[in-house]
């Protein structure tokens, strides 16, 4: 069992090592577009900043397919790349976020690896690697995503939205805890979006909701960035670099900066993110902080009432996340991407043989 878990971790590490540059490049460029937006904390819609935002969003859109594709590549080699990327793209477009992308990559890798066990005639062996396995693997993986998990995800999101809408009479601490936990759980995924949209759509009438959620949006990346600074031996070189970028992304309200850490070690990282976000969300709720922007991070400070408590909440939530995750994590033993699957020899194939 332990060996199987280690193998699974190696597959996920391969996916995240290829994903990190997309999050870092896309996240920083998008952060800069928001920081320099004269209209305030929002996505620029006109001028060169809108173009910069589009470039950044491209990276933040592509990282999920890349994650799924390279997890499948690690399991099944090159034939798994297309099914993994396409499956992860479908999962993300249906609202499953990066967790759905990881699941799609694992499904695609297992499907293609099983397909490769089928003995093909010598005349079809070359076509198997570049045509049959990717084609059939994509169809099976895509079918599972589209016809299998798509409907349940939509039903779950509708149920969560209705549930949150009915929590109007709940006390501030329970409500803050629920919204903080949901915001940090999947970092830009469907559960995060339900919580943040719930607060954003009521920013004009109940600005205290964004006062807390604005903090919970930024504590996951800021907390993980602080964690890499406090205990660098617990993180590999890529994670330490991602930690620096995560702090910047957190300051401008991009929760996705914590995803590389959560993907590499979800059982330790995600609970730490949730606890930190809950702490960060409760403080503004109790202090009466009001955030008049439908955004999060420190970039919204100009429109925040109760700025001192807002800043204290960000620091407290980030430190709680950093201390908890570093307490749970062991020293890092891997310092680079891992490639598990064996080469299928595709590079040596001459297309004259087809």
Neighbour count for residue 119 (Cβ, 10 Å): 7
Q: What is residue 119's predicted lDDT score, i.e. its pLDDT?
A: 82
Angle between helix 207-230 and 190-200 (nearest 10): 140
Give the pLDDT confidence of 272-290 residue by residue, as tens digits: 999 999 999 999 999 999 9
Q: What is the pLDDT of residues 157-181, one digit of tens each?
A: 778 777 777 776 667 888 889 999 9
The string of pLDDT tens digits covering residues 50-105 is 999 999 999 988 999 999 999 999 999 999 999 999 999 998 888 778 888 889 99
37, two tokens? 């937006």
Q: What are 16-44's pLDDT values in tens digits?
A: 889 989 998 998 898 888 888 887 777 88
Residue-by-residue DSSP string for 101-165: HHHHHHHHHHHHHHHTTS---HHHHHHIIIIIHHHHHHHHHHHIIIIIIHHHHHHHHHHHHHHHH
The 10s digit of each residue's pLDDT in 212-236 is: 999 999 999 999 999 999 999 999 8
Taking the model in full, what pTM does it have?
Answer: 0.80
Q: Over the stretch 178-200, which tens digit does the pLDDT of each residue have?
A: 999 999 998 888 888 888 888 88
Total Cβ atoms within 10 A of residue 154: 13
Whole-number pLDDT of residue 354:
38
């Amino acid at each position: 069992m332990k060996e199987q878990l280690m193998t699974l971790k190696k597959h996920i590490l391969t996916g995240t090592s290829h994903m990190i540059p997309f999050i870092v490049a896309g996240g920083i460029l998008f952060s800069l577009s928001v920081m320099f937006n004269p209209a305030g904390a929002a996505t620029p819609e006109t001028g060169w900043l809108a173009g910069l935002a589009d470039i950044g969003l491209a990276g933040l859109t592509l990282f999920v397919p890349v994650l799924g594709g390279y997890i499948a590549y690690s399991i099944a080699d090159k034939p798994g790349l297309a099914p993994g990327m396409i499956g992860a793209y479908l999962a993300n477009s249906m609202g499953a976020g990066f967790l759905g992308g990881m699941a799609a990559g694992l499904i695609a890798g297992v499907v293609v690896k099983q397909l490769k066990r089928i003995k093909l005639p010598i005349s079809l062996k070359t076509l198997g690697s570049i045509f049959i396995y990717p084609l059939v693997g994509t169809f099976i993986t895509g079918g599972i995503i589209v016809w299998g998990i798509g409907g349940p995800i939509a039903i779950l999101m509708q149920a969560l939205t209705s549930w949150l809408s009915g929590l109007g009479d709940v006390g501030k601490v329970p409500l803050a805890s629920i919204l903080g936990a949901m915001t940090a759980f999947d970092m830009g995924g469907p559960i995060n979006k339900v919580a943040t949209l719930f607060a954003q759509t009521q920013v004009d009438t109940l600005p205290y909701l964004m006062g807390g959620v604005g903090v919970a949006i930024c504590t996951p990346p800021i907390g993980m960035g602080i964690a890499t600074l406090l205990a660098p031996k617990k993180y590999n070189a890529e994670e330490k670099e991602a930690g620096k970028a995560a702090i910047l992304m957190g300051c401008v309200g991009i929760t996705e900066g914590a995803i590389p850490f959560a993907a590499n070690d979800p059982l330790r990282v995600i609970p730490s993110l949730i606890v930190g976000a809950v702490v960060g969300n409760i403080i503004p709720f109790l202090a009466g902080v009001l955030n008049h922007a439908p955004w999060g991070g420190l970039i919204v400070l100009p429109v925040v009432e109760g700025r001192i408590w807002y800043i204290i909440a960000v620091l407290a939530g980030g430190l709680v996340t950093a201390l908890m995750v570093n307490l749970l994590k062991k020293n890092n033993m891997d310092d680079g991407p891992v490639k598990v699957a064996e080469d299928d020899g595709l590079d040596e194939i001459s297309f004259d043989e087809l």
